[in-house]
Amino acid sequence: MAAAADSAPSFDYVIVGAGAAGCLLADRLSADGQHRVALLEAGGSDRTPNVMIPAAFAKLFKTERDWAYSTEPEPALDGRRLFWPRGKMLGGSSSLNAMMYVRGNRLDYETWGALAGSGWSFEVARQTFLRFEKNLHAPADIYGRAGTQVVEPQREPNVITHAFLEACAAQGIRSLRDLSEFDNDGCALTSVTQKRGLRFSAADAFLRPALGRKNLTVFKHVRVDKLELDGRRVVGVRGTQKDGSALLVRAQREVISCGGAIGSTQLLLLSGIGPAAELSALGIAPVHDLPGVGRNLQDHVLVGVIHTCPHPVTLFAAESLKQLARFVALRRGMLTSNVAEAVAFVRSGPSQEAPDLELISAPVPYIDHGSVAPTGHGLSIAVVLLTPESRGRITLTSRDPEAAPRIEPRYLTDPDGSDMARLVAGLRRAQKLFETAPLAKYVGDVIEAPREGAPDSEVAAFVRAQLETIYHPVGTCRMGSDDDSVVDPLLRVRGIEGLRVADASVMPTITRGHTYAPTLLIAERAADILRGL
C-alpha cells in the first residue's frame, strides 16, 4: 500500500545512501541546526567485529552487509562474470574496504578542472582535502590535521612489506613520504583509515558525531525505489522498508543521491531519467531523456602475482590465539593489517604523463577476493591499472527496484589494446620485484603467475583468466560543463530540478589512486555548494 502523502515525513534535504558521501553530507547539512535532514540507507548497522577488525574485511563479502553484485559475462575475459562487492550498511563501502587512503595525482584534478570548471581545480581539491582530514603522523604540508576523517600509519607492517619497499628502491623507484603526495611517482607504506588499530569509516568520521542532532533523522533498512517527481521537479523519494511497507519522504529543498556508481545510476533510471528508448522498452515512462546516465563506467582492475613464502612471517597466522590476544589487549598485531600494506605507483612507459600502474604488496596469498583461505605462508603483488581506456555501462534489467542492474564494465575493450599492454608490462615489473633482493629471499614456489619468460600472448591469456576488480567503479553520472554530461559543475542533474548527485558516479575520469578520499572530496564540495560557500 502506498504511503499516504499527507502523513509523509518532510525534510529540507533528503540524502539517499549512507556511504562515504552520504555520511559526510549528513554531517555538514545538519551542522548549523537550521535545516531538517534525512539520511536513507538500504542496509543496517555497521557495528560488527568483521567491520572493526581491519584484516577481516574480506569476511564481509557476500553477507547481508554486501550488495554482492556481479557483472555480465565479460567478452574480453573469457566470458567470466566478476564479483563486485559494495557496502550495504552505515558507512557503505568505507565499512568493508581495505582502508587505503590515497588522494590521487595532481593531474587527476587538473583534468577535472578542465572538464568541470574552476570549482574542481587542483588547488580547490588540495584545500578541500585538508579540511576533512585528521592525520597527526604524516607531514603537515601533506595532510590536514583538524578534520574528523582519521588517517594513521599502520600499527605493525609486516617484514615482507618493508622488503618490498627495499626492492622498489633497488629497482630505482623513489620513496614517497606518503602515498597521498600529489606528485605520487614512487612507493610508500599505505596510510589507512584507522584509529588505534580499528577501522575508522565515514560513519565513524562524520555520521556518529552528528547522530545526536535533533534535525538529523537516519532511516535504516529502507530501499529507495524511485524519486517522487512533480513534473520535472524532484519533491521526495519513495522506498520500501524492511517489513515491506512503503515509505514516502518529502524534500522541501533538494534530494541528493549518494548511492555510488551503481546506486545513483539505478535510482535515476528507475525514476525515468536516462536514455528514453531504453527506459520505454522496460515499461518505464521517460521523464527526461538523458543519454549519459549509466555510461562512462570506469574501474580499476588488478591481476596478482602470488608465491609461497619459505619463511613463517606472513599474515597466515593472523587468526591465531596469540594474534587475537594482541589485538584485543593492545590493538596491535596482524589483525590490524589492511593486507594491502605498501604500494608503488609507477609508469608503464616513458610516454605516460603520470603513474598509470599501481603495485600493491600483500604479505598473504590474496586469492579470489580473499575467499580462498591460504593453506600456508605466501605473498602477493597486485598489478592495478590506474588509467583504463576501456569504458562500460550500467543499465536496468527490469523496472522492479529489487532487480539488480546490468553491470557491463567491458574491461580490456579499448580499441588500441593499451589496457592489456600496460597490464602485461605491470606483471613483468612485479615479477622483476620478486626477483630483486631483499624481497627475493621471501619468494617460494608459484601459486599464480605467468610462466617465466612467457611471450606477451601467454601473459595476456593469464590476464584474461585472472583479472578482477579492485572495487572502484566511478563515472556513470559524469560531471562536466558540456551538455552531454549528466550533472553540471554544481552537481545538478541536467533537466531536473531539486536533484543533485554527489558521489563517485560524478567523476569524469577515475583518479590515479583509490576512490574513497576523492569521494569525500566530492561530498565536501557538494556541501559547500548547497550552503553557498
pTM of the model: 0.97
Cell of 38: 534525512
Q: What is the pLDDT of residues 47-84, one digit of tens each?
A: 999 999 999 999 999 999 999 999 999 999 999 999 99
pLDDT at 7: 85
pLDDT for 3 equals 46
Q: What does the pLDDT average to over 473-478?
A: 98
15 with 39: CB under 8 angstroms? yes
Q: Is the predicted pLDDT of residue 232 greater than 80, yes or no?
A: yes
Cα(403)–Cα(266) distance, integer angstroms? 10
Residue whose C-alpha cell is 597466522: 317
Of all residues in the chain, the percent with pLDDT exceeding 70 is 99
pLDDT class of 2 with cuts at 50, 70, 90: very low
| pLDDT digit string, tens, across residues 443-453 | 999 999 999 99
Active site (annotated) includes residue 472: yes
The count of C-alpha atoms lying within 13 angstroms of the C-alpha of 65, restricted to the half-sphere facing its C-beta, is: 24
Among 288, 307, 377, 472, the one annotated catalytic: 472
- Does the structure show a pLDDT above 70 at 6? no
pLDDT over 80 at 315, yes or no: yes
What 8-state DSSP symbol labels residue 205? I
Print burial letters for 65-76: b (CB count within 10 Å at least 16), e (below 16): bbbebebbebeb
Q: E strand or H helix at 238, and its extent? A: strand 233-241
Q: What is the pLDDT of residues 484-513, one digit of tens each?
A: 999 999 999 999 999 999 999 999 999 999
Domains of the chain, CATH where assigned: 5-47+203-297+474-530 (3.50.50.60), 155-189+301-387+412-466 (3.30.410.40)
Per-residue pLDDT tens over the stretch 450-467: 999 999 999 999 999 999
**Predicted local distance difference test score (pLDDT) of residue 5:** 53
Q: How far apart are CA 527 and CA 445, in angstroms?
A: 51
Mean pLDDT score of the chain, rounded to an integer? 97
**What residue ranges in 154-215 does DSSP mark as E strands?**
186-189, 194-195, 198-199
Name the nearest CA neighbour of 261 among 391, 169, 357. Answer: 391
Tens-place pLDDT, residues 85-124: 999 999 999 999 999 999 999 999 999 999 999 999 999 9
- Give the residue from 222, 210, 311 showing the smallest Cα distance to 259: 222
Residue 418, classified by CB atoms within 10 Å of its CB into exposed (0-12), middle (13-18) or buried (19+), is middle
Reduced to 3 states (helix: H, G, I; strand: E, B; else coil), residue 360 is: strand
Q: What is the mean pLDDT of residues 355-378?
A: 95
Beta-ladder partners of 501:
257
Nearest to 475 by CA among 434, 505, 511: 505
* Mean pLDDT score, 347-357: 97
Closest CA to 114 of 392, 489, 516: 489
Asked if residues 257 and 92 have their Cβ atoms less than 8 Å apart, the reply is: no
**Residue with grid cell 528514453, as numbered in its chain:** 276
Q: Are 285 and 272 in contact (CB under 8 A)?
A: yes
Cβ 379 vs Cβ 307: under 8 Å: yes
The DSSP string of 60-116 is: GTTSTTB--EEPPPPGGGTTPPPEE--B-BTTGGGGTS--B-----HHHHHHHHHHH
pLDDT for 171-181, tens place per residue?
999 999 999 99
Residues 456, 99: Cα–Cα separation, whole Å: 34
